[in-house]
Amino acid sequence: MNKSELVNAVADKAGLSKADAASAVDAVFDTVQAELKNGGDIRLAGFGAFTVSHREASKGRNPSTGAEVDIPARNVPKFTAGKGLKDAVNS
């Protein structure tokens, strides 16, 4: 499912126009991104949690040349599925 299909599904399920559903979907994505960017997290009971994980700097290898490459430290977004989502997927 891509973003436009998600917007259509939200519009149908919530009884909204596609423009209103698109605004709602964009607002959710923007809010999640802003909260993670500020170092926070978002926990949705029964669905899951969006958090930020820190990766330390490390050494890697270029697969084509074998040369050693420095990989800088960075923050990465992480999603952990909650029990309700796991149960829904496995039933």
Q: What angle do CA 66, 68, 73 make, to 5 degrees?
A: 135
- Summarize pLDDT for 16-38 with one digit per residue, the tens: 999 999 999 999 999 999 999 99
- Taking the domains of the chain in order of start, what are their residue ranges? 1-37, 40-90
Mark residue 37 as left, alpha or beta (left: phi above 0; alpha: psi -120 to 50; beta: remaining): alpha
Phi and psi (nearest 5°) for 6?
Answer: -65, -45
Give how far Cα 44 sits from Cα of 6, 54, 56, 84, 86, Å.
Answer: 19, 21, 28, 10, 13
Domain 40-90 -> CATH class: few secondary structures
Mean pLDDT of 35-50: 95
Cα four-point dihedral sign 29, 89, 4, 45 = negative
Q: What is the per-residue pLDDT for 45?
A: 94
